[in-house]
Structure 1
Amino acid sequence: MYEQRGFRQWVSRLLSLGLTKEQLLGISENKYSAFHQEAWIRSILKEVQRNRMHLHISLEEVPFFVLDTETTGFYPQLGDEIIAMAAAKTINARIQDFYFSLIKPNGIIPNQITELTGITNKDVESAPCLAEEMTKLLAFLENGVIIGYHISHDIIFINHFLWTQYRTKLTHRYLEIRAIVELLHGKGTFPTLDEALVHYSIHCEKRHTADGDVRAMTELWGYLLKELKNNKIETLYDLYNALSLH
């Protein structure tokens, strides 16, 4: 009933803007739902942008969202797709909430990706599509800082989807964990997550799975927070300033 009333209100608004009834004949309630979803996504991203936290907040108090995706390749513009997404809301490197979902792609998962991630085409047969899960992920991320190892890969895929579908992009702050590791240990150290995990003696039970990697990166983030504090890097401002000078 609520959706029907909303659809009628939406149609009335379009009519008030000058569209004729004939022009509205091809518009279905499904299209209304798509518009409604787009508006909701845009509102979340604008809210994040409006409510960015103060840079002088302690790193121990900042909600950091450790994010990871599994994809069928490296180039979304060439048709590679997200097949899994995971994120952990952390405060002082302690997990407060956790999100994970497999994603059903439009195409077939290549054999080499199945060998790497363990995700098969059968695993994703009943999984939700990316459009369904993207709204849940954005709601989960809320207002905080996104972090991850080689996080630009994940951001590129998410932004590609948001741009092609809604002509918008993530408005969250995000930080590259590798850059923070190199800030503490020198450039060129630990170019891969595996090398960083070995250095800190962190065991990743499910490597190359979105949820497994997020849990391992959260543990790594705990060590890095302590080292940052020992180096007098205690606020977001301190961290941004240190990274800009490194």
Structure 2
Amino acid sequence: MMDRRPPGRMWSLYKMGGLTPAITSMFDMQSAQQMAFIRSIMKEQRKNSLYEIPLHTLELVVFDLETTGFSPYNGDEIISVGAVAVNGSEVEDQQTYYSLVNPKRNIPEEIEELTGITNKEASAAPELLHALRGFLEFVQQKVLVAHGTGHDKHFLNAALWRTSKVNLTHRLLDTMMVAKWLNPKLKAYDLDTLLDHYGVKVTQRHHALEDARMTARLWSRLLEQARERDVQTLGDLYMQLSRH
């Protein structure tokens, strides 16, 4: 009788991880290595407890995404990732990450106009898995900060699951939520309103790295205000946010 089992290496990979990882490993070792790295970062992050770390020494990464639209589950894609490191309240302007991402679909005209990212640029950009690997190499196990985290978290989770079958496990702080706690009487909490309220200079909006830089400076102002209210650790901050 003919032996219909796959060749030895493929069969071993299939038994260990299933058909998709087997095929990926056989035909694209670089992608397999990137997937393995992403999965290891998420696994290590689950072990970390950061609640007792003082906020003035906490290492953070403030990030922003530009996307083709608002729904990662209805075909919208990430087109750029920007991030900047922050140590306590000190923005590390020289420690940044930025990458365009090939969405493998057409960028709507209004998004081109808003972000300045053209279809030609995007088509020549790194693929999603490569950009995610670079971003997570930059982040490591640091706490993530963004403004209006729902949008960014949905897109990151969708991208991580599609490429590596993992979910985001990093601690995530939202400058919008912190601002709502500190300034309950403001009429709006969008990024432009808060940048103006805290006197943060606007450089270039809807550019992932520049938005991340401005959000990082906003975080610094919010952190100073929070510490004036005797919020000293990450656990203290989460406790306050849980009440609002």
Structures share a fold, TM > 0.5? yes
Partner residue in 2 for 1:68:
64
Partner residue in 2 for 1:78:
74
Q: 1:170 Cα shift?
A: 0.8
Distance 1:154 1:13, change over 3 A: same
Letter aligned with residue 134 of structure 1: L
Partner residue in 2 for 1:220:
218
Partner residue in 1 for 2:179:
181
Distance 1:49 1:16, change over 3 A: closer
Distance 2:188 2:24 in 1: 53
Contact 1:148 1:217 in 2 (8 A): yes
Q: 1:228 Cα shift?
A: 0.5
Question: Structure 1: which 5+ residue stretches go unaligned?
Answer: 1-9, 19-24
Distance 1:59 1:13 in 2: 49
Distance 1:184 1:34, change over 3 A: same
Distance 1:12 1:164, change over 3 A: closer
Contact 1:69 1:86 in 2 (8 A): yes
Partner residue in 1 for 2:233:
235
Q: 1:35 Cα shift?
A: 3.4
Q: Secondary structure at the match of 1:85?
A: strand
Contact 1:84 1:103 in 2 (8 A): yes
Distance 2:125 2:13 in 1: 38
Letter aligned with residue 221 of structure 2: Y
Per-residue CA deviations over 1:34-81 (Å, capped at 9, x if unaligned) read 43332221111111111332x121111111110100000001111101
Distance 1:16 1:245 in 2: 48
Contact 2:142 2:170 in 1 (8 A): yes
Match of 1:107 among 94, 105, 108: 105
Letter aligned with residue 58 of structure 1: P
Match of 1:117 among 115, 133, 137: 115
TM-score by length of 1: 0.86
Q: 1:111 Cα shift?
A: 0.6
Partner residue in 2 for 1:209:
207
Runs ≥4 in structure 1, deviation > 4 angstroms? Answer: 15-18, 25-28
Distance 1:167 1:27 in 2: 13
Contact 1:68 1:151 in 2 (8 A): no
Letter aligned with residue 43 of structure 1: S
- Give me the identity figure in percent: 36
TM-score by length of 2: 0.86
Q: Number of residues paired by the alignment?
A: 230
Q: 1:229 Cα shift?
A: 0.8
Partner residue in 2 for 1:3:
none
Partner residue in 1 for 2:19:
none
Contact 1:145 1:172 in 2 (8 A): yes
Partner residue in 2 for 1:149:
147
Distance 1:82 1:57, change over 3 A: same
Contact 1:181 1:190 in 2 (8 A): no
Match of 1:163 among 161, 164, 188: 161
Partner residue in 1 for 2:42:
45
Contact 2:89 2:224 in 1 (8 A): no
Q: Are residue 244 (structure 1) and residue 237 (structure 2) matched?
A: no
Letter aligned with residue 103 of structure 1: V
Q: 1:117 Cα shift?
A: 1.0
